[in-house]
Structure 1
Amino acid sequence: MTAGVVVVGAGQAGLQLAASLREAGYADPITLLGDEVDLPYQRPPLSKAYLADKITAAGLELRPAAYFSEYRIAHRACMRVTGIDRPGRRVLCANGEALAYDHLVLATGARNRALPVPGAELAGVYQLRGRADADRLKAALVAARSVAIVGAGFIGLEFAGICAARGLAVTVIEAAERPMARSVSAETAAFFTRAHGEAGIQFLFGAGVVAIEGEGKAEAVRLRDGTRVAADLVLVGIGVVPNQELAEAAGLSVDGGIRVDTFLATDDPAISAIGDCARAPSRFADGAQVRIESVQNALDQGRCLAARLTGRPAVFDAVPWFWSDQGPHKLQIAGLSTPGDASVARPVPAGACVFRFRDDRLSAVETVDRPGDHMAARRILAQGGGLTPAEAADPARDLKALATGR
């Protein structure tokens, strides 16, 4: 009997792969190994709607339990994979099982980066990656009065917006000189600095954390300059680390992620990698290998790999796009920019629209509260980014028309 496809990781990438395989007519076994107790669930709402009690735990589930039996996808919860036996084509599990595979897919995701300072282990210090983290935060917010957030990335700012809406005192501590410094332009960062400030959120930029202080529980965050930020709840959001250890121990190439080719294959033709753990070449990064942390990337890579495994190979070439709900505002990004890219801010009556250019070639578009512009930008980038800085700056040039060639 064939062993079929074994997927290590039951997040959105792994589940999308399994679903797409079945949709494409794949008939052999599919085994989905997850290390959490839950059915596969959405992670983006954890820092948004779930914390705001706008969605329930059941509402997070990507598929109901009946789906897995109906489509013959063996979802194995609480399964921690400890090794890969490449010659024997088996994965080794912490419970002693060894599961055979015909094709192995690593969809192991990423984990939160730890804050390496004294006191980071105190009660009252949290990170947010999975549903269990979100549940702990929801419980802590009931009694919280003052919140310190270390890191002004998407997760930190989304959480800041949730806390401000509850009337809590919120301070965001960021080592860089502006929020989302690695992700957005100075213009978009300024929009959100202003918007969050109007909501009562305080920012401390260029600030290094040296300790979290408290007697058994967090009471304050100590900064390098001696400033003491009082807080009874501290959220650490300083980025993630790809879960590449299984691949590395098995002798596969890793470099800030599991290296794959344009078809999402590793060095071993029997092993592929997708989602947050994978580092793949992208034309949107001038052909360089990049690791993209987004639901869009996870879903598109799952579909692309399913097509290859069912005899329809195609280069992975999806336009990267991202979103972040921060307070009442929705940030959407299409494409991939670098800090050195030039910015062209288009005058708009509400929200924001910033075009990024690399050597006069469109690299990304950042929009705030402008979903139509975002969708047009995705189409323009998919077609090769044929938009000039002058066209970008001119509000009379309709983006939808430019996207459709009219």
Structure 2
Amino acid sequence: MTGTIIIAGAGLCGARAAFAVRERGYEGKVLLIGSERHAPYDRPPLSKHADKGSLSIQHVADEESYRVAGIDHLGGLDVTTIDPVGHVVTLSDGRHLTYDKLLLAVGARPRLLPGTENLTKVLTLRSFDDALKIRDGIGPGRRLAIIGGGFIGLELAAMARKLQTSVTLIESMPRLLARAVPAEIASVIEERHRLEGVEVLLQSGISSIGEDANGVQIELADGRAIVADLAVIGIGAIPNIEIAGAAGLAIENGIAVDHFMRTSDADIFAAGDCCSFPLQTYDGSRVRLESWRCAQDQGIIAAANMLGIVTPYEGVPWFWSDQYDLTLQIAGLPGLAVETVRRELSDGSFLLFHLGCDGRLVAASGIGRGNAIGRDIRLCEMLIAARAHPRREELASPSTRLKSLLAA
């Protein structure tokens, strides 16, 4: 197969797709276009592991690999418009490029608080350059305010405390990770952060944010004032849908795609953080996931389908977070559960099995030191994919091996 495949977005998703089309035997042009000056890299280490030595970029592949594979990486550029009829994209430098197939892997951008757009000491964490700015602003004797008690904020708090930074974390909800993990796991995370010296302020709205030469001033809704050298906003992300919407593609909580990562235009595909897709495992329920594994796998699936190799995306959602020596993992969609069964493990670790209204296992989550729960969560992924209906007493008992439930 020859022609031109253009991939808009040079993150993990786009890079995996570019290499995957080559591995599938595609002989035409492959153009990988991204706004960052860096070659594609992994984002999780920016918040999860940046406390270990100096902050370094972890590339998906080295430059030589792109050259050998015949992948043209165009950095520092954006795709600004798409003409689906003419199969043409316009780049931010004014160039017009034609494509046979187009993949939108344009990701998402951090959500901001009104009035903070031009503040230099109020940052977000999405890119390597963002991480460098944050790293330069923290350390012994420095004060960091984090707005948002989600994964990014909490991982950054753990990193900053390891670097002896004073941390205040401000969350508007009654608990941490309210939209992401069960309360039992969130309480363990909160307790650990408080133990490590993080000031956690829950149910705390923000009235104003300002800055001057001395730092950042945050006034809370209850009148309290927080002063910091640096503030980081971590209140979620917005999918980058603008060019897709302007081109007339269907939008539904992201760029809407089908099981094959295909948009409403047969020659345009989307994958990763920017798209919403139906989950086979959950009877076609449409979701949008900001997940390292999802971005990687969807890029590879999109590559196959762009080449006419019909391959549905059938992944089970999976996410992990490292904070201090704790790792939490989630498989499936806990929000669909009506009942939870708890299994106690050694060293204070535990698993939560989330059951739907018919007793089907729809999700599992757990927390423990190191990789204590990793194998069990992987087996739970397989049970979820198999639409298993395990007995509650078996789930609760540590003596029942999950592998035996899978065999059954």
C-alpha distance in 2 between matches for 1:217 and 1:286: 54
Residue identity in the other structure for 2:6:
V
In the other structure, the counterpart of 1:196 is 193
1:170 pairs with 2:167: yes
Give yes or no for contact 2:11–2:41 (8 Å, CA) kept in 1. Answer: yes
One-letter identity of the residue aligned with 2:327? K
Describe how 1:2-401 pairs up with structure 2 within 5 A: 3-53=3-53, 56-57=56-57, 60-116=58-114, 118=115, 121-142=118-139, 145-216=142-213, 218-338=215-335, 341-350=338-347, 351-359=349-357, 360-369=359-368, 370-401=373-404
Give the drift of 1:158: 0.3
Q: Deviations over 1:209-257 (max 9, x none)?
A: 1212332453332111111122222110000000000000000111220
Q: Which moved more, 1:391-400 or 1:83-92?
A: 391-400
Q: What secondary structure does 1:346 align onto? A: strand
User: Distance between the aligned counterparts of 2:171 and 2:39, measured in 1?
Assistant: 35
Query: Pairwise CA RMSD of aligned residues?
Result: 1.8
**CA-to-aligned-CA distance 1:268-288 (integer Å, 9 cap, x gap):** 101010000010001344422
Q: How far apart, in 1, do the equivalents of 2:362 and 2:234 lie? A: 27
Q: Displacement, 1:65? A: 0.4
Q: For 2:264 and 2:59, how far apart are their aligned partners in 1?
A: 33
5+ unaligned residues in a row in structure 1: which ranges?
Answer: none
Q: In 1, are the aligned partners of 2:279 and 2:286 still within 8 Å (CA)?
A: yes
Give distance in 1, aligned partners of 2:4 and 2:211.
52
CA distance in 1, matches of 2:261, 2:211: 47
C-alpha contact (below 8 Å) 2:82/2:88 kept by paired residues: yes
Q: For residues 164 and 404 of structure 2, what CA distance do their matches in structure 1 show?
A: 43
Deviation larger for 184-193 or 217-226: 217-226
Which 10-residue stretch deviates more, 120-129 or 16-25?
Answer: 120-129
Q: Identity of aligned pairs, percent?
A: 37
Distance 2:336 2:378 in 1: 23
User: CA separation in 2, counterparts of 1:121 and 1:327?
Assistant: 32
More displaced stretch, 225-234 vs 135-144: 135-144
**CA deviation map 1:27-78 (0-9, x unaligned):** 1111100111001111010112234436622xx1111000111000111111
Cα deviation code 1:109-161 (max 9, x no counterpart): 00000112x45643321110001100111111147522211001111000010
Alignment partners' CA distance in 2, 1:382 and 1:218? 50
Residues 339 and 206 (structure 1), Cα distance of their counterparts in 2 relative to 1, 3 Å cut: farther
* Cα distance between partner residues in 2 of 1:333 and 1:137: 28
CA 1:239 to 1:386, structure 2 compared with 1: closer, same or farther past 3 Å? same
2-side partners of 1:250 and 1:311: how far apart?
23
Unaligned stretches of 5+ in structure 2?
Answer: none
More deviation, 119-128/321-330? 119-128
The amino acid across from 2:35 in the alignment is D
Give the Cα–Cα distance (whole angstroms) in 2 for the partners of residues 87 and 399 of structure 1.
52
Question: Given that residues 122 and 216 in structure 1 are in contact (C-alpha distance below 8 angstroms), is that contact kept between their aligned partners in structure 2?
Answer: no
TM-score by length of 1: 0.94
Residues 228 and 95 of structure 1: CA distance in aligned 2, closer, same or farther (over 3 Å): same
**Partner Cα separation in structure 1 for residue 82 and residue 307 of structure 2:** 24
User: Any conservation in 2 of the 1:284–1:335 contact (CA below 8 Å)?
Assistant: no
Tell me the distance in 1 between the aligned counterparts of 2:80 and 2:141. 38
Query: Which shows bigger deviation, 235-244 or 394-403?
Result: 394-403
Q: 1:251 to 1:80 in 2, by over 3 A?
A: same
- Tell me, in whole angstroms, the C-alpha distance in 1 between the residues paired with 2:193 and 2:403: 30
What is the aligned residue count?
402
When normalised by structure 2's length, the TM-score is: 0.94
CA distance in 2, matches of 1:397, 1:375: 16
